[in-house]
């Protein structure tokens, strides 16, 4: 299996056993592995010696007795074999295919002993520049549509979408990435169960499609079931494997907000898509945007690139269209406002309406004539054909409203 | 007419004449009135002497010839009479009923010579603590609903809503304020035409309703028609008469954004309501929120009060509901996750599933029993009745989805 070498097998088997023995991010175990190495840590656990420190147990730490209930000395080997049967490999921190960004988890005390990876291609290449798109399972049509659009836009820009294979926003994000076609699509599903399991079960079709052109990743041993707490701790991996996390829709108490918190802790960009304030599906997003001015308001994929992109990748800022009208000075604007739409008026009457001297009015009317904004007739001045047409169109678009009904 | 005294009539008539002679916020005229007073400024204009400085004319400033086309020596008196006929009075800066906040316009070079006020009650009292609610004429149902809700919420908190009587958001804001009933409602319409005019014409019913329990205000002389530029310059008054401006919906090029810019210039709070990123009606709001972290994201009236309210008026922050579950430590959470929903399991099996020592598992199960989260049966442990009911409800709410389909 790629990513494994002979000399690393004892370490790899020990990590596999420890990943089965303890829940992810168990502080006491992470400390022990950091200090003594995985092989010695496993020996310690299997030896039946008491916990290293009492507070580790109280804090949910190194509970050797609890760990021994789950493994024996051959558990690691068996899990690696079982993973291989499912087409998965265990990638550990010393492997070249271990994404560098995962090291940020160690600094946060949220370390990861290894990751089972299933699917095609290099793990490191796949998550290079990736973006997490997450949100509520109970998503609206709006949220699902935005999630899919964002993931598709990232895919055609060569960036994978990382998400959790759940209903709602997660599924829409994976699907949006997949919709870019096998060549361009890239998406990574991080599971809260074994990589050989499917959760939710009805998403087995989606998991198969993700495997066509992406990766399925988990820190749980093969066969592991999804427990409630595993979803929350899983979210730190979604955050760590991405350059930034976009929350598309989230209720007030949503796991997506935990992913956002992990992203902030890990120094990743945190982004949120706004929605209608009357929609509970956007409550969590609005809270994120209000809580921290560093949270980016995302309107489309260009806004994501602006937050996570390399220099030179920045998208041009969207700006309102400008017109000749915008470039007129105050006097010219007043004169133009005073010119009748269709029935021509003499310059003297226009000057009175505008409150501008007759001499200056005549000069300005000449300039407006050059710009095509007014027409000169024998009886005086009226709006140019283009302006007349534009006004008629606006009137038509808002039937029943007054002629001045524009957004000033 | 209230707010007028004998000694001030020459000043008041002069200001009325100058308000007819020049468009609002004409820099040269404001400077002249500031230096020489309104009576002397009017004499200068009527005298036919040339502009004080050439650059004033070029910048749209003191164009005496243009001004003389609009007035004669009795224009001021006639306008005051015409206003009185329409039930309006001219309030000028030396009047006790001149809102103090309008002085900020002078500092910004955007001064106002006077305001015609039509309607019941004190102008100063009416705009005390008022909030501007503005937005696009081409509003969505969503935007109109939010605008009405915000204005209603402000009214029942004793705060008037200031807006522009336009279609869309403006109308919804006035209506929302009116819906609080004549006793509580307060709303102020600032017009871009004379206070005796109605624009848009189809809003004459709304203007009548505003006059029932609010005020209609304009700096234009009686009979003045709404010219395009008048709407933009009018917006500075909406901003200045309010403690803050809320943009509910705005396209990329919307006048509501000009009101927001004036509010920022005048040191008022600027607020915006988010919407769906796929809705062009929210484009301007999202741009505002992105451009400046000081712009407040408004989800409801409490968020407005938080931005503009006095100390002690602050609304409590909305927080996600907390449950007993949230207060469990990591070990207790793992044990609880391992307890079967309905078929009881012995503590040994729960310990294996949780990966927690048997001794500790038993201790924790006792604590969970006390908290009502688990039940003890002869065959072992299962979830407590309340937890079972809660899970069944969640499952029922999301028919067809897996049992774990919650937002973690």
> Distance between CA atoms of B165 and B137, rounded to whole angstroms?
10
**Distance (Å) from the C-alpha of residue A3 to the closest C-alpha of chain B?**
29
Whether B42 and chain A come into contact, CB under 8 Å, resolves to: no
B370: pLDDT confidence band, cut at 50, 70 and 90?
confident
Measured CA to CA in angstroms, residue A278 lies from A367, B22, B146, B250, B376 at distances of 49, 45, 8, 17, 43
What pLDDT does residue B355 have? Answer: 79
The 10s digit of each residue's pLDDT in A346-378 is 888 888 888 788 888 888 888 888 788 888 877
Whether B222 and chain A come into contact, CB under 8 Å, resolves to: no
What pLDDT does residue A184 have? Answer: 81
> Distance between CA atoms of B151 and B300, rounded to whole angstroms?
10
Q: What is the DSSP letter of A204?
A: H
What pLDDT does residue A314 have? Answer: 54
CB contact under 8 A, B273 and A273: no
Higher pLDDT, A384 or B123: B123
What pLDDT does residue B323 have? Answer: 60
> Distance between CA atoms of B360 and A5, rounded to whole angstroms?
39
pLDDT in tens, chain A (408 residues): 444 444 569 999 999 999 999 999 998 899 999 999 999 999 999 997 765 554 444 444 567 888 999 999 999 999 999 999 999 999 999 999 999 999 999 987 899 999 999 998 899 999 999 999 999 999 999 999 999 999 999 999 999 999 999 999 999 999 999 999 877 878 999 999 999 999 999 999 999 999 998 999 999 999 999 988 899 999 999 999 999 999 999 998 888 999 999 999 999 999 999 999 999 999 999 999 999 999 999 999 999 999 998 765 654 444 444 466 767 777 888 888 888 887 888 888 888 888 788 888 888 888 888 788 888 877 888 888 777 766 655 544 443 333 333 444
- Residues 2-21, chain B, touching A (beta carbon < 8 A): 21
Whether B357 and chain A come into contact, CB under 8 Å, resolves to: yes
CB contact under 8 A, B398 and A137: yes
ipTM of the complex as predicted: 0.76
Whether B277 and chain A come into contact, CB under 8 Å, resolves to: yes
Whether A406 and chain B come into contact, CB under 8 Å, resolves to: yes
The 10s digit of each residue's pLDDT in B53-80 is 544 444 445 678 889 999 999 999 999 9
CB contact under 8 A, B330 and A229: yes
Whether A352 and chain B come into contact, CB under 8 Å, resolves to: yes
Is the pLDDT score of B2 beyond 50? Answer: no
What pLDDT does residue B318 have? Answer: 43
> Which chain B residue's Cα is nearest to A299?
B277
What pLDDT does residue B361 have? Answer: 86
CA A141 to chain CA centroid, Å, is: 17
H-run or E-run covering A118: strand A115-119
Cα torsion angle, A64, A66, A68, A70, sign = negative
H-run or E-run covering A65: helix A64-68
Whether B253 and chain A come into contact, CB under 8 Å, resolves to: yes
What pLDDT does residue B312 have? Answer: 59
**Distance (Å) from the C-alpha of residue B96 to the closest C-alpha of chain A?**
31
Which residues in chain B have their CB less than 8 angstroms from residue A200's CB? 401-402, 404-405
| Cross-chain CB nearest to B320 (options A199, A235, A253) | A253
Whether B256 and chain A come into contact, CB under 8 Å, resolves to: yes
**Distance (Å) from the C-alpha of residue B197 to the closest C-alpha of chain A?**
14
Q: How many cross-chain Cβ pairs, A to B, lie less than 8 Å apart? A: 231
Question: Which of B25, B60, B249, B276 best probes binding to A when mutated, by most A CB atoms within 10 angstroms?
Answer: B276
> Distance between CA atoms of B99 and B117, rounded to whole angstroms?
12
| Cross-chain CB nearest to B333 (options A229, A253, A258) | A229
pTM of the model: 0.78
What pLDDT does residue A174 have? Answer: 97
Is there a contact between A345 and A381 (Cβ–Cβ < 8 Å)? Answer: yes
- Residues 91-130, chain B, touching A (beta carbon < 8 A): none
B401: pLDDT confidence band, cut at 50, 70 and 90?
very low
What pLDDT does residue B161 have? Answer: 98
What pLDDT does residue A8 have? Answer: 67
Question: Which of A153, A276, A359 best probes binding to B when mutated, by most B CB atoms within 10 angstroms?
Answer: A276
Which residues in chain A have their CB less than 8 angstroms from residue B226's CB? 404
| Cross-chain CB nearest to A60 (options B278, B282, B330) | B330
Whether A170 and chain B come into contact, CB under 8 Å, resolves to: no
Whether B404 and chain A come into contact, CB under 8 Å, resolves to: yes
Whether A325 and chain B come into contact, CB under 8 Å, resolves to: no
The 10s digit of each residue's pLDDT in B256-289 is 999 999 999 999 999 999 999 999 999 999 999 9
Structure token pair of residue A338? 């005073």
What pLDDT does residue B276 have? Answer: 98
**Distance (Å) from the C-alpha of residue A216 to the closest C-alpha of chain B?**
19
> Pairing between strand A115-119 and B88-91?
unpaired
CB contact under 8 A, B252 and A355: no
Is the pLDDT score of B293 beyond 50? Answer: yes
User: Looking at residues B205-222, what average pLDDT do you find?
Assistant: 95
Question: Which of B66, B298, B341, B399 best probes binding to A when mutated, by most A CB atoms within 10 angstroms?
Answer: B66
Three-state DSSP class for A131?
strand
**Distance (Å) from the C-alpha of residue B122 to the closest C-alpha of chain A?**
30
Secondary structure E strands in A310-373: none
């Amino acid at each position: 299996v790629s990513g494994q070498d002979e000399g690393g097998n004892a370490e790899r088997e020990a990590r596999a056993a420890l990943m089965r023995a303890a829940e992810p991010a168990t502080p006491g175990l992470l400390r022990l592995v950091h200090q003594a190495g995985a092989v010695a840590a496993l020996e310690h656990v299997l030896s039946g010696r008491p916990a290293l420190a009492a507070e580790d147990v109280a804090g949910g730490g190194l509970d050797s007795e609890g760990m021994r209930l789950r493994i024996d000395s051959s558990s690691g080997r068996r899990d690696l074999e079982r993973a291989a049967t499912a087409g998965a490999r265990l990638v550990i921190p010393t492997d070249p295919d271990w994404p560098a960004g995962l090291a940020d988890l160690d600094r946060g005390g949220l370390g990861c002993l290894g990751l089972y990876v299933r699917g095609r291609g290099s793990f490191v290449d796949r998550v290079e520049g990736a973006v997490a798109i997450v949100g509520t399972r109970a998503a609206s049509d709006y949220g699902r549509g935005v999630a899919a659009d964002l993931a598709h836009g990232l895919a055609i820009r060569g960036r994978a979408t990382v998400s959790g294979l759940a209903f709602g926003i997660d599924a829409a994000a994976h699907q949006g990435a997949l919709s870019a076609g096998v060549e361009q699509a890239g998406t990574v599903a991080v599971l809260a169960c074994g990589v050989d399991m499917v959760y939710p079960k009805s998403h087995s079709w989606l998991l198969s499609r993700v495997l066509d052109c992406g990766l399925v990743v988990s820190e749980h041993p093969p066969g592991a079931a999804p427990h409630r707490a595993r979803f929350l701790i899983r979210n730190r991996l979604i955050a760590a494997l991405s350059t930034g996390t976009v929350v598309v829709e989230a209720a007030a108490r949503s796991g997506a907000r935990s992913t956002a918190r992990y992203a902030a802790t890990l120094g990743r960009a945190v982004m949120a898509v706004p929605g209608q304030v009357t929609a509970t599906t956007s409550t969590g997003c609005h809270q994120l945007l209000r809580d921290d001015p560093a949270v980016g308001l995302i309107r489309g994929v260009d806004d994501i690139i602006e937050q996570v992109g390399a220099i030179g990748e920045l998208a041009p800022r969207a700006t309102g269209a400008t017109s000749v009208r915008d470039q007129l000075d105050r006097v010219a604007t007043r004169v133009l406002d005073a010119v009748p739409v269709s029935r021509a008026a003499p310059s003297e009457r226009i000057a009175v309406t505008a409150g501008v001297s007759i001499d200056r009015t005549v000069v300005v009317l000449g300039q407006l004539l050059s710009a095509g904004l007014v027409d000169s007739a024998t009886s005086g001045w009226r709006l140019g054909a283009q302006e007349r047409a534009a006004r008629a169109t606006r009137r038509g678009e808002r039937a029943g409203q007054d002629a001045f009904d524009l957004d000033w």
